[in-house]
Amino acid sequence: LSGQVGNGGLTAGFAQSTPERGATLLDGRGEADADQLKRVSVTEVTLRSGTTDITAWGNKNLTLYVPVDSSQFLKDQTYTVYQISADGSLEQHSGRCSNEEDGRFIRLNTSHLSTFIAVPAAKAALPFTDVKPGDWFYDAVAYAVDKGLFNGIDAETFAPGEAMTRAMLVTVLWRLEGEPKANSDSGFADVRQGQWFYDAVAWASASGVVAGTGTGFDPEGNVTREQIASILYRYAKIEGWDVTAGGDLEDFPDGWQTAEWAARAMEWAYAQKLITGKGSGLLDPQGPASRAEVAAILMRLLEL
């Protein structure tokens, strides 16, 4: 590189473009389907010395971290990246997605610079008759199912509008943790050996993720929005995640209704945009949450 740099110094450029631009450059080439093309991340990478573009440097390779949309590309997965040169020629790369200091990137090696089109994974068709493309919760449900966090209530039904129970939420976090075996009793009279949620509640209790309701665990009770915030806040602290952020609950006309024991957790959840206002502008801290809403909250949490 140094042999090609003149008095103008060296400037590196990273310009991101639209998915439509990526589709135009590919012009039907490659294996991306129509849905994937709507979600590609497109980046033009340049090196310039004065007015001269430097696109290659002998036979040497350069390692690039191409930025991608974190809502479309999952950490630790491998993706295809197409490289389009100025003459229109196409090369195909494969790179692993990772979180770096400034965001999410796909790492790849190349011998020259041009435009890079990162292609997200094809969306697998969900088996549920009540979750369809276009539903506001479709991506969240697909994400949760793909991660193994949620199951349908049967083979063809997800029940997105059904209220989430306390046992369901704790089981989701237990799956996220790798389904650890319970090392002690659940500590709750209403959670007994043999129940489908026993190991999950016992783990959550022993880990400090849940503390019960005062009269038991109430596994079949609908989990409220403030309870979700508190459970996720405790889980985040156990995981060592940053929980210092805090939002102002006075932004909501009913924010004052948040229980004192849940206020700090709800402030954090609001600041992180995990829990936001409902369509009426209310926080509804003591209201229930549906399975679709919890899937969306968990997707936001894990994407953070």
Question: pLDDT tens for residues 87-119?
Answer: 999 999 999 998 887 788 999 999 999 999 999
Query: How many beta carbons lie within 10 A of that of residue 239, not counting itself?
Result: 10
235-247 confidence digits (pLDDT tens): 999 888 999 999 9
Torsion of CA 187, 193, 196, 198, to 10 degrees: 20
162 vs 139, more confident: 162
Using the predicted structure, report yes or no on whether residue 278 has a pLDDT greater than 80: yes
Q: Which pLDDT belongs to residue 115?
A: 96
**Burial state string for 106-120 with b = 16 or more CB within 10 A and e = fewer than 16:** bebebebbbbbbbbb
For residues 283 and 286, give the distance between their C-alpha atoms in angstroms, rounded to a whole number: 9
With cut-offs at 50, 70 and 90, classify the pLDDT of residue 126: confident
Using the predicted structure, report yes or no on whether residue 2 has a pLDDT greater than 80: no
Q: Which pLDDT belongs to residue 68?
A: 92
Q: Which pLDDT belongs to residue 74?
A: 77
Mean pLDDT of 109-137: 88
| DSSP three-state, residue 199 | helix
For residues 291 and 224, give the distance between their C-alpha atoms in angstroms, rounded to a whole number: 12
Mean pLDDT of 67-71: 84
Q: Which pLDDT belongs to residue 69?
A: 85
Using the predicted structure, report yes or no on whether residue 221 has a pLDDT greater than 80: yes
Mean pLDDT of 274-289: 91
Find out whether 177 and 203 touch, Cβ atoms under 8 Å.
Answer: yes
Find where tokens 């229980």 sit.
259
Find where tokens 């991340």 sit.
41
Q: What phi, psi does 49 have (nearest 5°)?
A: -115, 105
This model's pTM is above 0.85: no
Q: Which pLDDT belongs to residue 109?
A: 93
Mean pLDDT of 71-93: 89
Using the predicted structure, report yes or no on whether residue 291 has a pLDDT greater than 90: yes
Question: What average pLDDT does the structure give for the chain?
Answer: 90
Cα separations in angstroms, 26 against 13, 61, 85: 22, 23, 11
Rounded to 10 deg, the angle between the 291-303 and 166-176 helix axes is: 30
122 vs 210, more confident: 210
Q: Which pLDDT belongs to residue 118?
A: 96
226 vs 62, more confident: 226
Q: Which pLDDT belongs to residue 259?
A: 95
Find out whether 295 and 150 touch, Cβ atoms under 8 Å.
Answer: yes
22-32 confidence digits (pLDDT tens): 999 999 999 99
| DSSP three-state, residue 166 | helix
Residue 301 is encoded by which pair of tokens? 């949490």
Q: Which pLDDT belongs to residue 147?
A: 81
| DSSP three-state, residue 167 | helix
Closest by CA to 236, choosing from 256, 264, 259, 255, is: 264
Eight-class DSSP state of 6:
-
User: DSSP secondary structure string, 18-78?
Assistant: -HHHHHHHHTT-SS--HHHHTT-EEEEEEEEETTEE--B-TT--EEEEEE--TTTS-TT-E
Q: Which pLDDT belongs to residue 227?
A: 95
161-210 confidence digits (pLDDT tens): 999 999 999 999 999 888 888 777 777 889 888 899 999 999 999 888 98
Strand spans (E) along 220-297: none
